[in-house]
Amino acid sequence: MTRLFADENIPLRIVQGLQDHGVDIITTTDAQLDNRKTSDPDILAYATGIGRAVITFDREDYKKLHQQSNAHAGIILLKQNMPLPMLLEKVADLALSEADLIEPIASGHPALISS
């Protein structure tokens, strides 16, 4: 199972929905990183340090961070216009699976990038 860290752009309804699906997920508020304008590299470093994959809508930024270094606990890239029930099901399936790498990232579906 992949433990998740929701960056600041993940709405609470998504976090709560994933928790309802049995996903271990915390937020920037839980980590006391909210309202600090914490950079994406710092979010990824923090999540990595506590062994959690980042879940984000910032697809391009986090793809670049992964290309710079794959030394992280994983990144789940979300697509903005996916219906909420489908998004929750797909992310929960990813997080609760034992898979290390889910492809393809460019398909528009949530994708887990891991080292």
Residue 13's domain spans which residues?
4-113
Peptide bond connecting 104 to the previous residue in cis, omega within 30 degrees of 0: yes
**pLDDT confidence band for 12 (50 / 70 / 90):** very high
Q: How many domains does the chain have?
A: 1
d(CA 58, CA 72): 16
Specify the pTM: 0.84
Q: What is the mean pLDDT of residues 4-12?
A: 94
- Residue 112's DSSP bridge partners are 76
> Which amino acid would we find at residue 25?
I
Cβ-based neighbour number of residue 96 at 10 Å: 15
d(CA 18, CA 87): 9
How confident is the model over 28-82, as pLDDT tens digits?
A: 999 988 777 889 999 999 999 999 999 999 988 998 998 888 888 888 888 888 8
Cβ-based neighbour number of residue 111 at 10 Å: 22
- Quote the tokens at residue 2: 């992949």
- Residue 76's DSSP bridge partners are 55, 112
